Amino acid sequence: MYWTRLGRACFETPTQKKGRHKSSPVATEGGDEIIRSATELDEAGIRFKRSKTDSLKDISFSGGVLRLPLIIVDDATESMFLNLMAYERFHVGVGSEVTSYIFFMDNIIDNATDVALLHSRGIIQNAVGSDKAVAKLFNSVSNDITLDPESSLDVVHKKVNLYCKQPWNAWRANLVHTYFRNPWAILSVVAAIFLFALTIAQTIYTIYPYYHPGN
């Protein structure tokens, strides 16, 4: 039932597609870059939420929130994706929604950690076992495919990259990646802040009598 609904949503008739708007122009800065992994996007402050529908086209980015549809990964997923992508490749006019989706997911999934993050946000349901197997699936089926520049995901791709390039978000990502992925590094930062506060308090305590001798 899941794959039937998915296939029906992906392949509309030409009449149904006629009213679809093309991707709106977006600044091309960062558009040619590969989008970062889910873990790196999370470090940059991007939040992941499940889309309201399960359509592979229902992917959007706004206000620092990347919305993705639920995907159930089971034993039939790989063959189904390969068949759907082949159908798109050899049938002019049916679109490239599945191919674009696979390209996008391959970019944000590098390893099991990315899969675990998306699973925790309700975006991936893993029915094949390990998160590593899911990551391998997306990485393998995406060989030799590219993102259609007319796809709405190209706009999402650019928006996400522009968000990550903003100074505060880039600084935050570097801070989290450098200091907060290691528990010992976190303790070191907390200790440094505590010592700094203690030094300030001690300095105030030392100079206060000098400026207020009567107290």
Tens of pLDDT along 72-112? 999 999 999 999 999 998 988 888 899 999 999 999 999 99
- How many separate domains does the chain show? 2
Task: Give a yes or no: residue 17 inside a domain.
Answer: no
Note down the domain range covering 198: 182-211
Amino acid identity for residue 129 in this structure = G
pLDDT at 27: 39
16, 18, 102, 151, 152 from 21: Cα distances, Å: 12, 8, 21, 10, 9
Q: H helices then E strands: how many in the chain?
A: 10, 5
**Do residues 42 and 121 touch, judged by C-beta distance below 8 A?**
no
* 177 in a structural domain: no
In a domain, 18, yes or no: no
144 and 207 part of one domain: no
Domain-embedded: residue 140 = yes
Per the CB < 8 A criterion, the answer to whether 161 and 35 are in contact is yes
User: How does pLDDT run across 26-46, given as a tens digit for each residue?
Assistant: 334 444 567 889 999 988 889
pLDDT at 114 over 50: yes
Helix (H), strand (E) at residue 124:
strand 124-126
Predicted pLDDT of residue 79: 94
* pLDDT band per the 50, 70, 90 thresholds, residue 207: confident
Which pLDDT score is estimated for 124? 97
- Are 201 and 104 found together in one domain? no
| 133 and 191 part of one domain | no
> Which one, of 131, 123, 109, 120, lies nearest residue 41 by Cα?
109
Do 195 and 94 lie in a common domain? no
